[in-house]
Structure 1
Amino acid sequence: MIQNFMIGTQAVQPLAMKSAAAQAGTVTGSGQSFGSYLEDALNQVAAQEQQAKDMSNKFVLGEVNIDEAMISSQQALLSLQLTTQVRNKVIEAYQEIMRTQI
């Protein structure tokens, strides 16, 4: 079973009224800003892509089996696709906000 470890369920928190500090970019409870959370997620995607590349090179050298290399490759692909879809949804939301008339 292939799992994507980019987004964990522990990061999901119920919506609540936030203080001024929380509205400035800090996630309530974790102390981590949205920017750093996004950066960590992108770094994990990049790490999975690097791991897939390393596994592919090891497969060529005969150090790992094809199934290990393919699983690593598919995990990286799924992470990249998820990241792309999240980016597309954020852009759509931004465009929708910009079309809103006040």
Structure 2
Amino acid sequence: MKPAVSVNETTKSFGSFLKQSISELNKSQVASDVATEKLVKGEQIDLHQVMIASQKASITLQTAIEVRNKAVEAYQEMMRMQV
């Protein structure tokens, strides 16, 4: 019985998902930096908007780090398995 999705398609799908996720992470970091820079320059921006952007970027980064840690942990566990 052939699998419904090939390994190559799965790899491409995972790769595009990973690329999109990293792009979203970068966008949140840039948005936080821009908001902070506006606040420092004295431009018209509310402090709560800056704090929300900063917290959003922080949470996104922490989530990405935890996902990476779990992926590395799973890889290491598979490497320890005896075949």
| TM-score, structure 1 as length reference | 0.72
Structure label with greater radius of gyration: 2
Distance 1:51 1:18 in 2: 42
Deviation per CA, 1:17-56: give whole Å up to 9, x if none. Answer: 94242x32338xxxx6110110000000001000000000
SS of aligned partner of 1:40: helix
Equivalent residue of 1:64, what SS? coil
Higher share of residues assigned helix: 2
Give a deviation string over 1:60-93, Cα, whole Å, max 9, x none.
1232111100100000000000000000000000
Aligned to 1:49: 29
Q: Which whole-Å CA distance do the structure 2 matches of 1:71 and 1:18 have between them?
A: 45
Q: Select which of 61, 71, 76 maps to 1:90.
A: 71
Match in the other structure for 1:19? 4
Q: Distance in 2 between matches of 1:49 and 1:20?
A: 35
Number of residues of Structure 1 aligned to a counterpart in Structure 2: 81
Q: Structure 1 unaligned segments of length 5 or more: list them.
A: 1-16
* Aligned pairs for 1:1-102 within 5 A: 18-21=3-6, 23-26=7-10, 33-62=13-42, 63-102=44-83
Percent of counterpart pairs with the same letter?
Answer: 35
Q: Structure 1 residues 97, 58: closer, same or farther in 2, change over 3 A?
A: same
CA RMSD, Structure 1 to Structure 2 (Å): 1.9
